[in-house]
Chains A and B, each alone.
Chain A
């Protein structure tokens, strides 16, 4: 069974920078996994931030960026705002099926 692993929690100061990663149990993540990143706040549906590694949706704030880093997909938040406190999930494509990451709780403190 494929497992996609993210950091359980990260804490960042307002205005700071934090990088979340997304690792696959099958090996290195490449652009062929079409990494998507989502933000979810309590009681809300997920909201798409990044698709296909590093592409932003029209509503994605400029401070969010996606990349591949050391064999993982990565989401970087630069100039973090208090409203960025949320759960973040990655999603990878495995040739017909998709697997979500375990999620990262980002705390802005």
Chain B
């Protein structure tokens, strides 16, 4: 059974840092692109970042570029999101998602349950 379990969320002051983790199981983690998506309270989904299967290719939304870093440890089946210089507007539930990329297809198929990050003084 495919499982994605996020952790690392919590309360942090503006300007602070936090590292989120997404533990994967039930599939060959090293074969998949992985993404982070966030959702502010009562708001819509926002794509944050992606990383390819070997970790060499990463992409970010403009709103987090230069502040967030996505990475992965395929030996530990874990995805990470290092978040620095946090702002109040980064407050959200952060989801990790598994993405299957084919020749002519992109499938976001499995999602974690999310971890809440609150940026407040």
CA distance A48 to B35 in the complex (A): 14
User: In the complex, which residues of chain B have a beta carbon less than 8 angstroms from the beta carbon of A57?
Assistant: 107, 109
Q: Is the CB of A100 within 8 A of B45?
A: yes
Contacts across chains A and B counted by CB atoms under 8 Å: 63
Distance in Å: Cβ of A47 to nearest Cβ of chain B:
7
With an 8 A cutoff between CB atoms, is A51 at the interface? yes
CA distance A58 to B37 in the complex (A): 22
A contact patch SS: strand
User: In the complex, which residues of chain B have a beta carbon less than 8 angstroms from the beta carbon of A55?
Assistant: 105, 107
Which of B59, B62, B105, B108 has most A Cβ within 10 Å?
Answer: B108
Q: Is the CB of B59 within 8 A of A96?
A: yes
Q: Is the CB of A97 within 8 A of B45?
A: no
User: In the complex, which residues of chain A have a beta carbon less than 8 angstroms from the beta carbon of B106?
Assistant: 34, 36, 51-52, 93
With an 8 A cutoff between CB atoms, is A29 at the interface? no
Q: Which of B8-16, B73-81, B111-119 contacts A (4 or more CB under 8 A)?
A: B111-119
With an 8 A cutoff between CB atoms, is B72 at the interface? no
B contact patch SS: strand
Q: Is the CB of B107 within 8 A of A51?
A: yes
Q: Is the CB of B44 within 8 A of A102?
A: yes
With an 8 A cutoff between CB atoms, is A10 at the interface? no
With an 8 A cutoff between CB atoms, is B61 at the interface? yes
Q: Is the CB of B109 within 8 A of A48?
A: yes
Distance in Å: Cβ of B115 to nearest Cβ of chain A:
11
Q: Is the CB of B50 within 8 A of A98?
A: yes
Partner of B95, one of A34, A46, A51: A46
With an 8 A cutoff between CB atoms, is B88 at the interface? no
Q: Is the CB of B107 within 8 A of A52?
A: yes
Interface set, chain A 40-78, CB cutoff 8 A to B: 40, 45-48, 51-52, 55, 57
Which of A1, A46, A99 has most B Cβ within 10 Å?
Answer: A46
Query: Known: A38-B45, A89-B45, A102-B44. Is A97-B111 also a contact (CB below 8 A)?
Result: no
CA distance A58 to B6 in the complex (A): 24
Contact with A along B89-121 (1 / 0, CB 8 A): 000000100000010111111011110000000
